[in-house]
Amino acid sequence: MGGVFQVLALDYLNPFWWVAVAILGFKLCALVDAASRREDAYRAADKKTKQFWLVILGLAFGLDLLFGVNPLYSILTLAGLAASIVYWVDVRPAIRQLTGRGGGGRSNSGPYGPW
């Protein structure tokens, strides 16, 4: 069983099912986040273009839907996971810092405004 049916099988007692769902969810989050960022922010952060990241992350997610998530034996799953991790820990923070959606910067801000 592979592809989308692997995730839809709902095998709650199988730990590999949980790993497959987590990997697929992480790749989807990275893809949605990359799609929601502005194009000029990628260039300003000196990272690859938005289209590059959308293609890479879209292929990573799409191939896992098509062929199934197998973190032990599939090089496609591991390569896509590595690309998603690189986006999440390198590209996303640089873009968030430039666009001001990083949460950092103001140290005197409380939950209801500055104090």
| Whole-prediction pTM | 0.78
Structure token digits, residue 43: 């260039």
pLDDT of amino acid 114 = 67
For residue range 15-61, what is the model confidence (pLDDT) as tens digits? 888 888 899 999 999 999 999 999 999 999 999 999 999 999 999 99
Identify each DSSP E strand in the chain by its residue range.
109-110, 113-114
Q: With bands split at pLDDT 50, 70 and 90, how would you rate the model's confidence at 2?
A: low
Please state, rounded to an integer, the average pLDDT across all residues of the chain. Answer: 86
